[in-house]
Amino acid sequence: MTSARVEQLGTALAGPLLAAGDEGWDDAVLLWNAMITARPTLVVQPESARDVATAVRFAAAHGLLLSVKGGGHNIAGTALADGGLTLDVCRMRDVVVDPAARLAHVGPGCLLRDVDRATQRYGLATVLGFVSDTGVAGLTLGGGFGYLTRRFGWAADNLEEVEIVTADGVIRTASRTDNPDLFWALRGGGGNFGIVTRFVFRLHDVGPVVTGGLAAWSAEGADDVLNTYRELTATAPRELTAVALLRLAPPAPFVPEQWRLKPIVGMLVCHSGTTAEADLAPLRALGEPIFGHIGPKPYVAQQSMLDDMEPKGLNQYWKTEFLPGLPAEYLPTFRDAALDVASPLSFSVVFHLAGALNEEQDGGAVGNREARFISGFSGVWPPGADGDGIVAAVRRSWECIRPFSTGGNYVNFQLAEDSADRTAAAYRDGYRRLRQIKKQYDPDNLFRVNRNISPRENPNGDVPATAR
């Protein structure tokens, strides 16, 4: 890139074009996972689909590595194109709610909290994740799950339409009737097919108050809590989502001093229906928790209550698997593995998914719809500290639970180190179709800074072994 070409790009854009040292650069390249060291040469902050199309055509014409940053929350660091051009869509953050049509029109730079706050004004919500600082775009394009998944499916299942810039720089609309193959691929296929510049989500009656919160007990009682969790999830209505977790109690003001950094087992719940008291009776029977409270709270507060557990700027290393169920032998395996991982910032979870996502017939490319739980281990440590032991513990623990897996995994939780086989395993039978659609819309693989679905022949065969 010559300075003249860069200047030409800047002139063609309505939004800023940034280089290192410019005002706003540091925020533009800041990611949630501090393990990511990639840095682009240029950052475009588009203000419209037209700006996005201009940047896409420029990257294609000059052979630049291209990436998109929404919330920057992806653990694999796919938001930044190392040495290339990154589109930071932070200026495209509008949310327009149509309560009569029960639709939300959402810009690609929106965070979860932007959408939740806008839709809750009307007592409506769509399926999003459970950390409000997460970007809507990356979450949705990879599937997206959260407290409402059991009722309404993946976030991607709730898409009605998108506006997208494809690799040829054309602005298109994709829906079940317009470019339906592309729309199918976008619902789970990640950023492989273009840059979405507008999402249209279906909305549902939720809130403004739900029953939710977190309660924690001593890990000495982990067997009782985990068995209660297993029984609770076996009969839970779809309005109830429960998450079991094991970790060291954080050194936070709400934790009694004598329990800080001691092993605890907790249960995080969200009940968006009207029968919470009866449905949560097994949990109440566990007795008084060490800390925490489950009761009525605003839905937007429930959606943000985990934010402090996942701040920006820490090193993050995860390993997870989809599970078809919770056999009795899984719980002690998970307990022991989770205690192995435990460190001041690390945690281990089992998240209940079963419900609507198992039944959706037209939900797009999200794979592994037989999954009923997702479980895994999150190793977290501060920059500058030695994380080798934490990474090793996460890997050991992950190996312990793999025999219980469906054989699949969640693409949004994959690491940069994960192989093409593991990406294929996230889609299973849909991988071949995704690859054909990739060939049609991005034959030169312009959009490859992601969990990539290559349009080219795999060196080890037509498709990775897990998708054959």
Whether residues 245 and 355 share a domain: the answer is yes
**Could you report the per-residue pLDDT of 36-80, keeping only the tens digit for each?**
999 999 999 999 999 999 999 999 999 999 999 999 999 999 999
Dist CA 234 CA 279 (whole Å):
12
- Amino acid letter for position 60: A
Q: Could you tell me if 185 and 249 lie in one domain?
A: no
Helix (H) or strand (E) holding 5: helix 3-12
- Judge whether residue 422 has pLDDT over 50: yes
* Per-residue pLDDT tens over the stretch 17-32: 999 999 999 999 999 9
CATH code at position 227: 3.40.462.20
Residue 253 lies in a domain: yes
In order of 107, 294, 388, 408, the CA distances from 458 in angstroms are 35, 50, 32, 20
The answer to whether residues 349 and 392 belong to one domain is: yes
Indicate if 198 and 213 belong to the same structural domain: no
Mean pLDDT of the chain: 95
Q: Are residues 124 and 56 in the same domain?
A: no
Residue 287 lies in a domain: yes
Least confident segment among 62-71, 102-111, 116-125, 456-465? 456-465
Domain count, the chain: 3
Whether residues 194 and 80 share a domain: the answer is: no
Same domain for 219 and 329? yes
Co-location of 167 and 309 in the same domain = no
Structure tokens at 262: 């001691």
Cβ atoms of residues 468 and 431 within 8 Å: no
**Judgement on whether residues 259 and 391 belong to the same structural domain of the protein:** yes
pLDDT at 457: 62
Taking the C-alpha atoms of residue 319 and residue 375, their distance in angstroms, rounded to an integer, is 9
- Indicate if the pLDDT at residue 315 is higher than 50: yes
Instruction: Specify the range with the lowest mean pLDDT, choosing from 168-182, 298-312, 313-327, 374-388.
Output: 298-312
| pTM reported for the whole predicted model | 0.94
- Please tell me the distance from the alpha carbon of residue 185 to that of residue 214, in angstroms, as a whole number: 36
Whether 395 contacts 319, CB under 8 Å: yes
Task: Give the span between the Cα atoms of 380 and 365, in whole angstroms.
Answer: 30
Last residue of a domain, one of 59, 88, 117: 88
For the chain, the straight-line distance linking the first and the last C-alpha, in angstroms and rounded, comes to 41
Buried b (16+ CB within 10 A) or exposed e, 310-347: beeebbbbbbbbbbbebeeebbeebbebbbbbbbebbb
Q: Is 463 helix (H, G, I), strand (E, B) or coil?
A: coil
pLDDT bin (cut points 50, 70, 90) of residue 459 is very low
Residue 157 in domain: yes
pLDDT score of 467: 43
Give residue 461's pLDDT.
41
Q: Are residues 276 and 298 in the same domain?
A: yes
Q: Which residues constitute the domain of residue 302?
A: 209-413
pLDDT over 50 at 402, yes or no: yes
Could you give the 3-state DSSP secondary structure of residue 238? coil
DSSP for 300-318 reads HHHHHTTGGGS-TTBEEEE
For 164-193, write each residue's pLDDT tens digit: 999 999 999 999 999 999 999 999 999 999
| Burial class of residue 177 in the structure, from the number of CB atoms within 10 Å of its CB (0-12 exposed, 13-18 middle, 19+ buried) | exposed
* Tokens 């650069």, located at residue: 25
- Quick check: is 399 in a domain? yes
Last residue of a domain, one of 180, 205, 230: 205
**130 and 77 share one domain:** no
Over residues 328-352, the pLDDT tens digits come to: 999 999 999 999 999 999 999 999 9
Asked whether the predicted pLDDT for residue 468 surpasses 60, the reply is: no
H helices within 365-430, ranges in order? 388-401, 420-425
Q: Which region, left, alpha or beta, applies to residue 202 given φ > 0 means left and ψ of -120 to 50 means alpha? A: beta
Query: Of the candidates 24, 37, 20, which has an alpha carbon nearest to the alpha carbon of residue 315?
Result: 37
Q: Considering the domain boundaries, does residue 455 fall inside one?
A: no
Q: How many CB atoms lie within 10 A of CB 168?
A: 16
Q: How confident is the model at residue 212 (pLDDT cuts 50, 70, 90)?
A: very high
The pLDDT assigned to 456 comes to 85
Predicted local distance difference test score (pLDDT) of residue 458: 58
What are 228-269's pLDDT values in tens digits?
Answer: 999 999 999 999 999 999 999 999 899 999 999 999 999 999
Do residues 163 and 343 touch, judged by C-beta distance below 8 A?
A: no
